[in-house]
Amino acid sequence: MWDHEIKAMASAHAIIASSIFMATVVPAVLVPGFSVYGAHLLWLYSVSGAVTVASVGVFWLLGVTPPSKKHTLGYKLSRFFRSCLYFILSCLFFHTVVVLYGAPLIEFALETFSLAVLLTSLTTLRCLCVLGPNVQAWIRVFSRHGAMSVWDTCLQITVACTLVGAWVGAFPIPLDWDRPWQVWPVSCSLGAMIGFLTGLVAAPSWIHYHRKQLTYKCK
């Protein structure tokens, strides 16, 4: 029943994963001495930008983004600016949460905000692409039994995997191993990225395996 959407989802995720690969390889070719550890902020923004462009393009081409109820230019511009505002607010929210979890408030502020931008690109941006700037829809999707489509279920899985990955990535930081990937926020961003990529694989796989048991209420 869901085979077509699952195949579209797998293709979309493959394109997004490829964009992450390209955002890592291209700077390594163009920038002398580039490395994920040594030029971590450059890598963070490179990946964030690549995921943003790929996600917006792919979800728009697939028609996953909810259609506008109004077709006026003013409404579309309002929707666009609200999406940008939500993106910025999400960055500030993640920055605050990371600080509350123990990140330095002043020292490494740029690194902390860069991690927040990455987390926003991997989580909030997907919500904007799939659900639009609709907070009520976001609350519904992430509430118990709130999914109304395979894309809602995909959101639940990928966002959860990303956040858990970032959280687990913080564990090695206080250990006295003196490794380059223990520098803030390298392990958290790598954990978020690994979690995100895991979610990209796990979401269509889980949905395909449980497709006969999936039932969604009408929107």
pLDDT tens-digit profile of 61-117?
Answer: 888 776 666 667 777 888 899 999 999 999 999 999 999 988 888 888 999 999 999
d(CA 49, CA 149): 27
Cβ atoms of 43 and 77 closer than 8 Å: no
What does pTM read for this prediction? 0.91
Helix axes 40-62, 109-122, angle to 10 degrees: 20
Whole-number average pLDDT of the chain: 89
- Percent of the chain residues topping a pLDDT of 90: 58
The pLDDT assigned to 218 comes to 46
Instruction: Assign 206 a pLDDT band (cuts: 50, 70, 90).
Output: very high
Neighbours of 179 (CB within 10 A): 11
Q: What is the DSSP letter of 146?
A: -
Give phi and psi for 197, each to the nearest 5: -65, -35
**Bigger pLDDT: 121 vs 31:** 121
d(CA 142, CA 213): 20
The pLDDT assigned to 119 comes to 97
User: Is the preceding omega at residue 133 within 30 degrees of 0, hence cis?
Assistant: no
The pLDDT assigned to 72 comes to 75
The terminus-to-terminus CA distance of the chain in angstroms comes to 17
Q: What angle do CA 138, 198, 17 make, to 5 degrees?
A: 90
Which residue pairs from 177-184 have beta carbons closer than 8 angstroms and sit at least 24 positions apart in sequence? 180/37, 180/38, 181/37, 183/37, 183/40, 184/103, 184/104, 184/108, 184/111, 184/112
d(CA 170, CA 101): 10
Residue 135 has pLDDT above 50, yes or no: yes
The pLDDT assigned to 219 comes to 46
Q: Which of 1-5, 109-113, 176-180, 205-209 has the highest mean pLDDT?
A: 109-113
Residue 217 has pLDDT above 60, yes or no: no
Residue 214 has pLDDT above 80, yes or no: no
Least confident of 53-57, 136-140, 190-194: 136-140
What Rg do the C-alpha atoms of the chain give, in angstroms?
18
Cβ atoms of 66 and 132 closer than 8 Å: yes
- Residues 33-50 have pLDDT tens digits of 888 888 889 999 999 999
Residue 1 has pLDDT above 70, yes or no: no
